[in-house]
Amino acid sequence: MARYFIYLAYDGANYHGWQIQPNGSSVQETLMKALSTFLRSEIEVVGAGRTDAGVHARLMVAHFDFDKELDVDTVTDKLNRLLPPDIGVYAVKRVKEDAHARFDATYRTYKYYVTTRKDPFVRSYAWRLFQTLDFEAMNRAAQTLFDYTDFTSFSKLHTDVKTNNCRIMQAYWEQCGENEWVFTIQADRFLRNMVRAVVGTLVEVGRGKLSVEGFRKVIEQKDRCSAGSSVPGHALFLVDVGYPEYLFE
């Protein structure tokens, strides 16, 4: 049995997230249908993570198994012909048989975009703010994330994970246009809804409703109710997933 990683991107606007849903279209199901059609066999696809409804991916990685050697360029080309315009496959790579798209990922990177101007050309991919925020204070608060590993305060309640511990590797805001800012966060893993809850709480700091020390207390309380609300999903992008070199054939 040969295992392959698929590197893909998608606009999440028309999907109920990555994961298969009983009553809505998902990216995972759409990809599985295209693969199964092309390979004429029932193919299961396992993703590196689960993006929520409306969230986008500039780079998602998933794996699948097939009982024959495949020409990876042909698979890439055929999938792109079968998939809808809002899902694109960049590459298919042969990996070791026990390589796992989710469990072997060493980091994941997300970006969240905000804009302070009404702009019809970014409205689908950035969250509009109606006041200017104190991004310096937000960056000071973001730095406190490195001091902790338990992020229960930013997790969706009642999830099936065994631990709420994550190791944050990057967390910062930067200006990317006259009226646009982007928050980049990288960690070994993320909890359900975590990035949107972190951004929502940092925005409270930027609005002056929460101090940097207050942000620290939110983390320490390990209580979702103490954190800010989750920001909208349409401005969130999964942009990178990292793997050790030895997984690739």
- Which entry of 52, 147, 150, 223 is annotated as an active-site residue? 52
Question: Percentage of residues in the chain with pLDDT exceeding 90?
Answer: 83
For residue 249, pLDDT over 90 is answered with: no
What per-residue confidence (pLDDT) applies to 72?
95
Give the C-alpha separation, 107 to 240, whole Å: 8
For residue 165, pLDDT over 90 is answered with: no
Give the C-alpha separation, 242 to 195, whole Å: 18
Give the C-alpha separation, 189 to 223, whole Å: 19
What per-residue confidence (pLDDT) applies to 160?
65
The answer to whether residue 98 is catalytic is no
What per-residue confidence (pLDDT) applies to 28?
97
State pTM to two decimals. Answer: 0.94
